[in-house]
Amino acid sequence: MSPEAADAFFATLQGANPHPQTELEYASVFELLAAVLLSAQSTDVGVNKATRRLFAVANTPQRIVALGLPALTEHLRTIGLYRNKAKNLLKTCEILLAEHGGRVPRSREALQALPGVGRKTANVVLNVAFGEPTQPVDTHVFRVSNRTGLAPGSTPASVEQGLEQRVPEPYRVGAHHWLILHGRYVCTARAPRCLACPVAAYCDAFRQAAGDPSRVR
């Protein structure tokens, strides 16, 4: 994808959705951190169902620590890897209280030092909570970046690096939201909706398939 095509690609996505937002539900920076930590290998819909129950009774590090591991684990039972996620979330809350005054840190290093918080989660928090132009790479961003030719790469790290270089500056803060939503609802893993895709004209895979969406992989 050429720089000119990349600009048109994001301008089109922005025109359709000027203010893209995460589909995870949260009402504070801490709730965002907790929701993203819990979202690994789980759907946003499933995480939202669990956090609605959890945040109704414990939505701060102090309250989650007071809740304790058994009760926290029970609140998260409906999502994948819930036992390990409960342990990580509880330990994260303990660290936030002990080292950060109960607040979510704004540095990548401090975020990634929290249990269960990898680079993608840190990038999401930095972007959504603090407005930094980070490029979190999940399965949807990885697929769309490769399929369209926007930022091809064999690993999330290489795709992230490509996005940092190729996303035009005006679109950097919202880019990962547009890519996630596009991958979730249009550029799906199986049977992508190419004929309904507003950015098909800029997509390498679509153009290489000569307009036959069944050939897009």
Q: Which residue from 57, 74, 62, 75 is spatially nearest to 30, judged by alpha carbons?
A: 62
138 classed as catalytic: yes
**CA–CA separation, 213 vs 1, rounded Å?**
18
Beta carbons of 154 and 132 less than 8 angstroms apart: no
The active-site residue out of 7, 44, 91, 120 is 120
49 classed as catalytic: no
**CA–CA separation, 180 vs 76, rounded Å?**
24
Tell me the two tokens of residue 51.
Answer: 């956090």
Cα dist from 90 to 31, 47, 86, 123, whole Å: 13, 16, 6, 21
> DSSP letter at 208?
H
Q: Which residue has the tokens 């991958």?
A: 183
Amino acid at 47: V
The active-site residue out of 7, 49, 87, 138 is 138
| Torsion from C-alpha of 175, 23, 66, 121, nearest 10 degrees | -30
Three-state secondary structure string covering 30-83: HHHHHHHHHCCCCCHHHHHHHHHHHHHHCCCHHHHHHHCHHHHHHHCCCCCCHH
Catalytic residues: 120, 138
